[in-house]
Amino acid sequence: MDYQTILEKVSKAVAPLTGEGKVADYIPALANVNPNKYAVCIDSIDGNLYAVGDADERFSLQSITKVFSLAMCLSIKGEELWTRVGKEPSGTAFNSLVQLEVEGMPRNPFINAGAIVLADVLLTSFPDPEARFLSFVRELCGSDTVDYNLEVAHSERETGYLNAAIVNLLKYHKKIERDVEEVLAFYFKMCSIEMNCKELARAFLAFANHCRFDYAGVSLTLSQVKRINSVMQTCGFYDEAGEFSYLVGLPGKSGVGGGIAALYPRRYSVAVWSPRLNSKGNSVMGMKTLELLTTETMESIF
Ligand code: GLU
């Protein structure tokens, strides 16, 4: 398949959407991003890389990092992890408190409440969780300069009132062991990791590649990788997971930095970045790019 030509065609087709949507500005440090940035990159199992646009420029991964923390937690806890966090789509916003109040347990690991529980699992599993998480992520994406962005993490802490409410509710329900401030700080730090589209595609190739998953001591069975993909499929796009599944037909995860990573099992991973978001928090051009990609290639899991 000539993915380079397809990516070029798709990126031209989405260009008219350039002004649509709004950059996430509830995290002050993210509001300064150039909203017109755009990149898409495919990394294929057979070793080829295809890229268009600003594919070497790093951006804030935000919720995309929840896939990495899920992988790490699953490798530590196995099936027992699902006693701490559910695996059902929430149908609510990523930062919603409503279900948590009624049900007492986060619906899935990709809403904030679920990812905050994952942060607690990592904090209680390692003496040096920040370093462990970073070395896992660096090995996954093949770059040892990928890092936390402390300015973004601190800026989110300044205004993260909803997440502070979530962590307190979790503590009230005895769903986290460590101190609320410590858990919140680590959660924000994980969200602040930056990558470019080439690095992000490489990181997600590990979830497309039905081979050994073993990175920086984090090892998963093929069955566990498959299950992470299924949680991405059903829960990866806030309350637009059904729409993404309908339009694109690939497992993936989005973040409010405007990135989306997705994968076509056994073939390729794809990363796209465009900071303007729709009302559900997903990148407008990113969603359209992936929709057109699977329309053009006729390749999806369905
Ligand atoms: N750090 C962000 C938050 O907790 C992540 C949101 C996202 O990318 O969905 O609000």
Is 167 a pocket residue for ligand 1 (Cβ < 6 Å)?
no
pLDDT of residue 266: 95
192 CA: nearest ligand 1 atom: 1
Region 216-230 average pLDDT: 97
d(CA 138, CA 119): 18
281 CA: nearest ligand 1 atom: 9
Region 132-161 average pLDDT: 96
Q: What is the pLDDT of residues 183-211, one digit of tens each?
A: 999 999 999 999 999 999 999 999 999 78
- Was domain 3-297 assigned CATH 3.40.710.10? yes
Q: How far is the CA of 126 from the centre of ligand 1 (A)?
A: 24
61 CA: nearest ligand 1 atom: 8
How many CB atoms neighbour CB 99 within 10 A? 18
Total-model pTM:
0.97
pLDDT at 61 over 90: yes
Q: Are 87 and 155 in contact (CB under 8 A)?
A: no
Is 63 a pocket residue for ligand 1 (Cβ < 6 Å)?
yes
Q: How far is the CA of 111 from the centre of ligand 1 (A)?
A: 8
Q: How far is the CA of 9 from the centre of ligand 1 (A)?
A: 31
Q: How far is the CA of 30 from the centre of ligand 1 (A)?
A: 11
Question: What pLDDT band is residue 162 in, cutting at 50, 70 and 90?
Answer: very high
Q: How far is the CA of 191 from the centre of ligand 1 (A)?
A: 7
d(CA 264, CA 251): 8
Instruction: Tabulate helix, strand, coil % of the chain (nearest 5).
Output: 50, 15, 35
Task: Give me the residue spans of the domains in the chain.
Answer: 3-297
Q: What is the pLDDT of residues 271-293, one digit of tens each?
A: 999 999 999 999 999 999 999 99
Q: How far is the CA of 85 from the centre of ligand 1 (A)?
A: 18
Is 191 a pocket residue for ligand 1 (Cβ < 6 Å)?
yes
Q: What is the pLDDT of residues 235-253, one digit of tens each?
A: 999 889 999 999 999 999 9
pLDDT at 212 over 90: no
